[in-house]
Amino acid sequence: MHISSAKTSYNVLTYGARPDGKTDSTQPFQDAWAAACGSTDSTMIYIPKGRYLLGAVAFTGGKCKSPAITIRIDGTLIAPEDYRILGRAQNWLSFERVSGVSIVGGALDAKGSPLWDCKANGSNCPAGATTLSFVNSNNIRIDGLLSLNSQMYHVVINGCQNVQVQGVRVMAAGDSPNTDGIHVQLSTDVVITNSSIKTGDDCISIGPGTKNLWIERVSCGPGHGISIGSLAKTTEEPGVQNVTVKSTIFSGTTNGFRIKSWARQSTGFVRAIRFIAATMINVRNPIIIDQNYCPHNLNCPNQVSGVQISDVMYQSIRGTSATPVAIKFDCSLKYPCTGIRLQDVKLTYSNKQARSTCTNAIGKTSGQVQPDNCL
């Protein structure tokens, strides 16, 4: 990516933003974006130290002239106190049809906990907003961002090409609902590295149409692990392929590496997946494929999963399972999982031998594999 040193800089303060945490700075941020977009140079939007109150704001490209816009955040962006304001929007900060945008530094505090409380008490609550969303965009970089207490997902990458996420920290309560750390779907060539995710749902969730995803040096916990799926939400669905997850640590999570699909017909597939060099610390389901996914057993389709899972490798996985079954492959009756490979896996359950269970799974092992393999 071309990062020019001679950037034209736009400071949000000059557009009327106030770093006092009380003045609504939504319009000044949009004005700074419009100015940067209108420049033919590489530009920088600068957000100095301080707290900036922002409502839902969409930064749209399409007509941008600037080849590269860096948003340098030295301050903290904060959501309105009333969770309903963002709760009715789909996204808090969204970027649509942009190219060459980098977000560097900064903290985003979505103040999601009152909405989580509302949902826990089951009263009439809005769905909630994703904190940071990139849609139909390319050449994107997110570097050194802190995302706190999102209402729903923290970061969503949807329909994008060439995205780099590095040094990101995500923090939300372990019981916060639907607060996935980073969600990727319909996107190609995404790299996520050197990040720490503590949240109430999947640390990283990988949706349909994801291709060439590289994840390395990520720590997860609390959270629900790194999940491909859920797939087969619809019958026509693009597959997931070429995913590598390397050098990860899972601590006290519900799952480690999970692939999940609903039990219904689907054109979806999962193939060429590499899970390499992971440490599991007290993880409930360290390795799991679940093709009968149906949370809370509500409205289960009760068919046979059409998602075809093949060529999945688990290599150099070590650590402890919080339950007796450390490896669970529950695959489709119609399309058994094929090409499952376990190599140098050692998972124990409270200093005892753990177990593995396999249904409709075909594959092989090499090196030492514990628990004893059921493939």
Active site residues per annotation:
224
Question: Please, what's the b/e burial string for 164-180 (b: 16 or more CB within 10 A of its CB; e: otherwise)?
Answer: bbbbbbbbbebebbbbb
Cβ-Cβ contacts under 8 Å for 30 (sequence gap 6 or more): 57, 59
Residue written as tokens 């301080």? 50
Give CA angle at 50 (49, 55), nearest 5°: 120
Give the C-alpha separation, 22 to 18, whole Å.
8
Q: Are 31 and 68 in contact (CB under 8 A)?
A: no
Angle, alpha carbons 122-176-329 (nearest 5°): 105
| Selection from 152, 22, 159 nearest residue 80 by Cα | 22
Q: CA 112 to CA 116: how far, in whole Å?
A: 6
Structural Rg of the chain based on CA atoms: 21
Q: What are the CA-CA distances from residue 220 to residues 99, 147, 173, 199, 313 (Å)?
A: 30, 14, 13, 8, 20
